[in-house]
């Protein structure tokens, strides 16, 4: 876990997609300018050594829920990118008192991408828009994880149905997607925002991993979502 910042705003907790925390460090520092901010390394691909938990959504949801309960004394703005959007969504439904607001960036997976073949094709369409600048923040963690663990993580996320949980969320939800994101396509992102009682959709420049190269923009969106939630 990385922690930074302080101040009176609600704390911000960041969870990376596919367990690669390095690409969210810029976002962490951006959020830390105005709020206590935390970047969680779940399931533990960010460092050598044993995993924090098994690389499956249910196990990671348990760990994040427990950490929020033990480490923080007030609700947090929960940010999850890609597969981690599914984790923070599950946390907010299970323990609504822990979530001030949700920011779901590039949430996965629409029903048609819950098989490996279609997902691989969507990945190939997305990757042509990806920047090499995202690689240093992701590849080391993926190499430590290895293909078997990554595949287990992906298959766990493909079995999930976040659309069933969205109507149960009590806090404000902001869905954010990159304009060229084929893994979290526009219709899917809009349907999730519409399903949340207090949902909204924001489209930003870039592909699926836009936070890796737009940390400042991502931090501003997270801060704005927290401020809007606190005003209600």
E strand map for the chain: 2-4, 12-15, 37-39, 76-81, 99-105, 173-178, 199-204
Question: What are the two backbone dihedrals, phi and then psi, of residue 155, each rounded to the nearest 5 degrees?
Answer: -65, -35
pLDDT in tens, 117-154: 999 999 999 999 998 988 999 999 999 999 999 999 99
3-state helix, strand, coil in the chain (%, to 5): 55, 15, 30
Q: What is the mean pLDDT of residues 28-44?
A: 95
Residue 105: give the domain boundaries. Answer: 2-231
Question: What are the two backbone dihedrals, phi and then psi, of residue 176, each rounded to the nearest 5 degrees?
Answer: -125, 135
Residue 176 in contact with residue 209, Cβ under 8 Å?
A: no
pLDDT at 66: 97
C-alpha distances out from residue 232 to 12, 61, 83, 190, 228, Å: 18, 27, 28, 23, 7
pLDDT band (50, 70, 90) for residue 9: confident
pLDDT at 49: 86
pLDDT at 169: 97
**Count of structural domains, the chain:** 1
Provide the mean pLDDT of the chain. 94
The per-residue DSSP string of 206-217 comes to SSTTHHHH-HHH
pLDDT band (50, 70, 90) for residue 2: confident
CATH of the domain at 212: 3.40.50.1820
Predicted TM-score (pTM) of the model is 0.94
Give the SS3 label for residue 102: strand
pLDDT in tens, 49-90: 899 999 999 999 999 999 999 999 999 999 999 999 999 999
Residue closest to 107 by CA, chosen among 130, 89, 133, 125: 89
- Please give the Cα distance from 129 to 88 (Å, whole number): 26
Per the structure block, which two tokens stand in for 41? Answer: 């390394």
pLDDT at 232: 61
């Amino acid at each position: 876990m990385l922690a930074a910042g302080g101040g009176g705003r609600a704390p911000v907790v960041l969870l990376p997609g596919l367990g690669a925390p390095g690409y969210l460090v810029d976002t962490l520092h951006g959020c830390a300018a105005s709020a206590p901010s935390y970047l969680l390394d779940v399931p533990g691909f960010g460092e050598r050594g044993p995993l924090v938990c098994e690389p499956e959504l249910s196990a990671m949801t348990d760990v994040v829920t427990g950490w929020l309960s033990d480490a923080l004394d007030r609700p947090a703005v929960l940010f999850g990118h890609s597969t981690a959007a599914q984790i923070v969504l599950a946390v907010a439904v299970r323990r609504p008192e822990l979530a001030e607001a949700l920011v779901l960036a590039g949430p996965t997976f629409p029903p048609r991408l819950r098989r490996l073949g279609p997902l691989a094709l969507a990945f190939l369409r997305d990757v042509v828009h990806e920047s090499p600048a995202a690689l240093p923040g992701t590849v080391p963690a993926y190499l430590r994880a290895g293909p078997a663990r990554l595949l287990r993580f992906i298959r766990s996320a493909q079995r999930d149905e976040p659309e069933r949980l969205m109507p149960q969320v009590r806090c404000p939800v902001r869905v954010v997607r990159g304009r060229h994101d084929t893994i979290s396509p526009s219709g899917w992102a809009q349907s999730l925002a519409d399903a949340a009682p207090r949902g909204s959709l924001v489209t930003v420049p870039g592909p699926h991993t836009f936070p890796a190269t737009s940390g400042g923009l991502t931090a501003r969106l997270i801060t704005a979502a927290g401020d809007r939630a606190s005003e209600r």
